[in-house]
Amino acid sequence: MLLLQGDIWESMLYYAQVEKDLKEHPIGHEAKLRIAKISYYQGDFQWAQAQLGTLKASTSKLIANNAMELSLLITDNFNLDTTEISMRAFANADLLHYQQKYDEAILKYDSVLTAFPGHSLSDEIYMRKAAIYLNNGKVEDALANYEKIEADWSYDILADDALYKRAKIYDTILKDSEKAMKLYEQILLEHNSSIYVAESRKRFRDLRGDNLKDE
């Protein structure tokens, strides 16, 4: 709540105390993860990585996965001194996103795209913008950002995520079965090692009517 309200230092002190008191408890691990995230939001990426390193072995799968995800984001995009400005701006946009200052977050994300065209953060930005738009009911804007990933970053690790999210939008929100089927099929054909393959195959068959034929 303190971080949502913008009181970063009070948040840091609070989580540090919780982590100290419950060092070996999952609650302490969660507090440590939040300390890492605050450090990340502030642009202190090395300190964030130091916190995340121990959390990757957390007994909580969720905490371990979240720590790994943030650690990989930093590792992949903060390798050179020349990337620090872009990464700091991106982290600031993530903070605005977390604080639900959506319009400001979109502007900050767009500023990174404008200042650093083709940057490795671009696909992450499109994913985050799409999530904001979708959460605010702007479905067409969300689709446009997911489509940018397919158009410009089809080789990247987020390509199947974006494709699956597009399929789900057409499937569950727009009720366009034909379009959804095409996207599910595209996942099966082009991303056959994706974690979304099983669900995509099931939904493709459901929409095609296979289950009805078997009855």
CB 183 within 8 A of CB 166: yes
Average pLDDT over the chain, rounded to whole?
91
This prediction has a pTM of 0.88
Residue 159, token pair as written in the block: 């390509």
* Distance (Å, whole) CA 103 – CA 94: 12
Nearest to 41 by CA among 103, 108, 107: 108
Query: 193 is written with which tokens?
Result: 């090692």
The Cα–Cα gap between 56 and 214 comes to 45
Q: Are residues 139 and 74 in the same domain?
A: no
Identify whether residues 119 and 177 lie together within a single domain.
no
Structural domain boundaries enclosing 38: 1-79
132 and 164 both lie in a single domain: no
CB atoms within 10 A of CB 158: 16
Asked if 158 contacts 127 with a C-beta cutoff of 8 angstroms, the reply is yes
Pair of tokens at residue 22: 């419950």
Residues 207 and 173 in one domain: yes
pLDDT tens column, 14-62: 888 998 889 888 899 999 999 999 999 999 999 999 999 989 888 788 9
Residues 67, 2 within the same domain: yes
Same domain, 2 and 33: yes
**Same structural domain for residues 14 and 65?**
yes
Q: What is the CATH number of the domain that holds 99?
A: 1.25.40.10
pLDDT tens track for 73-88: 999 887 654 558 999 9
Q: Do 88 and 69 fall within a single domain?
A: no
Counting the structural domains of the chain, the total is 3
Query: 204 and 148, same structural domain?
Result: no
